[in-house]
Amino acid sequence: MKTGISIFIAAFVALGASWCGLVLAPSLQLGGAKETVVLQSADHWPQQRTGDATLGLQVYRASGCAACHTEQIRQTGVATEVTVTGLGAHQPDDFGAFVKSLFILPTLVEYTNAIAASLQGWHGELPRTLLTSANQQVVSEMANRLKAIGVKSETRIVPQGDDIIARGWGYRQSVAADYLYDQPVQLGGLRAGPDLSNIGVRMPDANWQWQHLYAPKSVVKTSTMPSFKFLFEVRPVGHVPSPDALKLAADFAPGPGLEVVPKPEARQLAAYLLSLKANVPLYEAPFTPVTAVK
Ligand code: HEC
What is the CA(168)–ligand 1 centre distance, in A? 16
Tell me the one-letter amino acid at 286: P
Tell me the one-letter amino acid at 252: F
Using the predicted structure, report yes or no on whether residue 293 has a pLDDT greater than 50: no
Mean pLDDT of the chain: 92
| Residue 205 Cβ < 6 Å to ligand 1 | no
Task: Report the pLDDT value the prediction gives residue 191, as an integer from 0 to 100.
Answer: 96
Per-residue model confidence as pLDDT tens digits over 54-93: 999 999 999 999 999 999 999 999 999 999 999 988 999 8
Is 274 in contact with 52 (CB distance < 8 Å)? no
| Residue 223 Cβ < 6 Å to ligand 1 | yes
Report which protein residue has its CA nearest ligand 1's atom 16: 223
Burial 141-178 (b: 16+ CB within 10 A, else e): bbbebbeeeebebbbbbbbebebbeeeebbbbbbbebb
Per-residue model confidence as pLDDT tens digits over 29-65: 988 889 999 998 889 999 999 999 999 999 999 999 9
Q: Which of 86, 89, 108 is nearest to 154 (CA)?
A: 86
pLDDT cut 70: percent of the chain above it: 98
Q: How many Å is the Cα radius of gyration of the chain?
A: 26
Using the predicted structure, report yes or no on whether residue 96 has a pLDDT greater than 60: yes
Best substitution site from 205, 225, 273 to test ligand 1's pocket, by max atoms within 8 Å of Cβ?
225
pLDDT confidence of 1, banded at 50, 70, 90? low
Distance separating alpha carbons of residues 214 and 257, to the nearest angstrom:
18
Distance separating alpha carbons of residues 151 and 146, to the nearest angstrom:
5
Best substitution site from 55, 59, 61, 68 to test ligand 1's pocket, by max atoms within 8 Å of Cβ?
68
What is the CA(123)–ligand 1 centre distance, in A? 42
